[in-house]
Amino acid sequence: MRKLGIVLFLVAALGMVGAIQADAAAKDQVVIALSGEPPTMDPHRTSNFVGAMVWRWPYDTLLSRETGTGKLIPWLAEKYELLEGTKKIKFWLRKDAVFADGSPVTSQAMVWSISRVLKAARQKKYFASFDRIEIIDDKTFIWHNKTHDNGTLSRVSRWAGLMSLNAKGKKKAHLSRNTYGSGPYILKSWTKGQKMVFVENKKWWGRKQFPRMPKTVVLRRIKEAATRVKALEAGELDVAWGVLPQFVAALVKNPKTNVKAVPAVRIMFLSFFSKHGGPFANLKVRLAVNFAINDALIRKTILGGRADAIGGQLHPWNFSGYNPKRKWWGYDVAKAKSLMKEAGYANGFKAELIATNGRYPGDKPTCEAIAGMLKKIKINTTCNSQRFPLFKKYHRAYQAGKRKGAAMYYMGFGNGGGEPGLLFSGTTMCGGAWSGHCFKDIDAQVMKANATADPKQQWIEYDKVVGMTKAKATAKVVAKIHDVLGYSNRINWTPRHDETLYPWEISMKASN
């Protein structure tokens, strides 16, 4: 009996030790839930919203942006100097920086990394002006552009993360599931569609700056916003990305959770399929739609006040072109009706408004509200709100002229990298991935702005583009939304403005 008691005591003791160890591990671990996951962990192969966020965890970029201000700051490069404007930029790599495999971070690694970017169709376009890297020594190089490109510094804070030369010769499949960076974390495991586990890189140069960063980061893919919130309330998560307005109150009342709404970069807008003709090819009809939509009401009610008015599609963190004095078209139903009459559509017409469902805050309710508002000017609008893949399918069909009829679309564009040229090429220019228009004069002005070397004059040229998009009513700008994030009260964390999340900026609160 005595022996049995001793055995039970030892079992209990071992169990207690195990529990303590588990608790200790939990104290150094954060669990983050996003709606998606990267398509690959090779940071050079493609362009992807979640990828651009998560690739930074194992792969350092030359520069970064400061949380809160968005100011460019040194990162893997400890300093830089403009030698000939942005045509020639000298970078000094950190002397203490090494890759997770122990090999040194060198200029040669930068040459190889950018060569990989230039072989990838999706990222190559970001570096169209790039010419070559001139190596000065192992830790110093000069970045040469073919022309002045004032977006270069912004780009190297988001793209072209450095990869170890030891990854040379590895197969694509291997690099998609294994990391070879110098950043704060290393990918340990990945269960596709479910979770990714990252562990600290003990060789990271920045550990002294972030001494309380989590040692383990678990990224869970949870598509549904409601499920993410429930998991946070149950204590299964530390951070839930993209909290929808209807879930905010519950998280605020919960003593174990916090909610933070951060004025961010994503701008919601309604735009038109106009390049194949139809009613929306008429400027007065597009203006009428602008005046018929009560955007202030949408921001106040559907978005719960967690959104801001903005005078165009450029957010304040773009490297050029943002003008805080600009105002977009307002709300005036009488004027909208008058414009419809002048356009020859006093009796109205039928139209479809396609939108996403669950991708952006209040996307489906906003679609339905806009459809109701447009009926006041006799545009009999049907709201077709679908999951993103189907929305994209419909959008591409209307773009190509395969889906017929008058149509509009409601969506958001983030532009976290702060690239005005990228924003316009994607949403407004002829052939843009999310453009329903083709205005050659806008295209010409965007290209002129992109090529302008003097920063002050470039700002003027981009502002002219904004003025042209307003004059042509290419869109109805509805809101610059806030990123709404839920998080556990066991962590200290300041959410960022640019749709990115850096786990090393999270620290665990001291336990009692």
- pLDDT means per 10 residues, the chain with 512 residues, are 44 38 61 95 92 97 94 97 96 98 99 96 88 99 96 95 98 98 99 97 97 97 94 97 91 95 95 98 99 98 95 95 98 99 98 94 96 99 96 97 98 91 93 94 96 95 98 99 95 93 92 56
Same-domain status, 47 and 169: yes
Residue 296 sits in the same domain as residue 399: yes
The amino acid sitting at 115 is S
pLDDT for position 27: 77
Q: Give residue for tokens 């651009």.
A: 52
Element housing 42 (H / E): none
Query: Do residue 348 and residue 437 come from a single domain?
Result: yes
In this structure, is residue 17 part of a structural domain? no
- Domain membership of residue 247 (yes or no) is no
- The reply to whether 224 falls in a domain is yes
Q: Determine, yes or no, domain membership for 24.
A: no
Angle at 184 between CA 182 and CA 189, to 5 degrees: 95
**In sequence order, which ranges of 159-308 are alpha helices (DSSP H)?**
172-177, 225-233, 245-253, 283-292, 295-300
Q: Tell me if 21 is assigned to some domain.
A: no
Q: Are residues 325 and 430 in the same domain?
A: yes
> What residue numbers bound the domain in which 297 lies?
265-482
Residues 125, 216, single domain; the answer is yes
CATH code, domain carrying 456: 3.10.105.10
How are beta strands 379-386 and 507-508 bridged, if at all? Answer: unpaired
The residue assigned the tokens 């376009």 is 125
Instruction: Say how many Å lie between the first and final Cα of the chain, rounded.
Output: 39
- 277: exposed, middle or buried (Cβ count in 10 Å: 0-12, 13-18, 19+): exposed
Q: Tell me whether residue 274 is in a domain.
A: yes
- Residues 283 and 414 grouped into a single domain: yes
Shared domain check, 297 and 392 = yes
Please count the other Cβ atoms lying within 10 Å of the Cβ belonging to residue 274: 25
Q: Is residue 307 part of a domain?
A: yes
> H/E element holding 14?
helix 2-27
Q: The CATH number of the domain where 207 resides is what?
A: 3.40.190.10
Q: Are residues 451 and 500 in the same domain?
A: no
Q: For residue range 20-55, what is the model confidence (pLDDT) as tens digits?
A: 333 334 679 999 999 999 999 999 999 888 999 999
Rounded Cα gap, residues 391 and 410, in angstroms: 10
- Give domain status of residue 255, yes or no: no
158 and 289, same structural domain? no
Q: For 15-168, where are the E strands, in sequence order?
A: 29-34, 63-65, 72-74, 77-82, 88-93, 130-137, 140-145
Q: Select from 299, 281, 224 the least CA-distant residue to 482.
A: 299
| Cα radius of gyration rounded to whole Å, the chain | 25
Cα separation, 103 vs 98, in Å, equals 6
Q: 107 near 141, Cβ under 8 Å?
A: yes
At residue 125, the pLDDT reads 84
Q: Classify 170 as helix, strand or coil.
A: coil
For 192-236, the pLDDT digits (tens) are 999 999 999 999 999 999 999 999 999 999 999 999 999 999 999
Count of domains forming the chain:
2
Strand partners, 89: 82, 143
Long-range CB contacts (within 8 A, 24+) of 493-498:
493/239, 494/67, 494/68, 495/260, 495/262, 496/67, 496/68, 496/262, 497/67, 497/68, 497/70, 497/262, 497/263, 497/264, 497/265, 497/317, 498/65, 498/70, 498/264, 498/265, 498/317, 498/416, 498/418
Asked if 500 and 465 sit in the same domain, the reply is no
For residue 72 the two structure tokens come to 């460019």
Q: Are the beta carbons of 355 and 409 closer than 8 angstroms? A: yes
- pLDDT, residue 417, reads 85
Give phi and psi for 383, each to the nearest 5: -85, 125
214 and 305 part of one domain: no
Which residues have CB under 8 Å from 459's CB, separation 6+? 320, 321
pLDDT at 459: 98
> 492: which strand partners?
507
Q: Which two tokens stand for residue 480?
A: 């610059």
Which pLDDT value is given to residue 11? 40
160 in the same domain as 106? yes
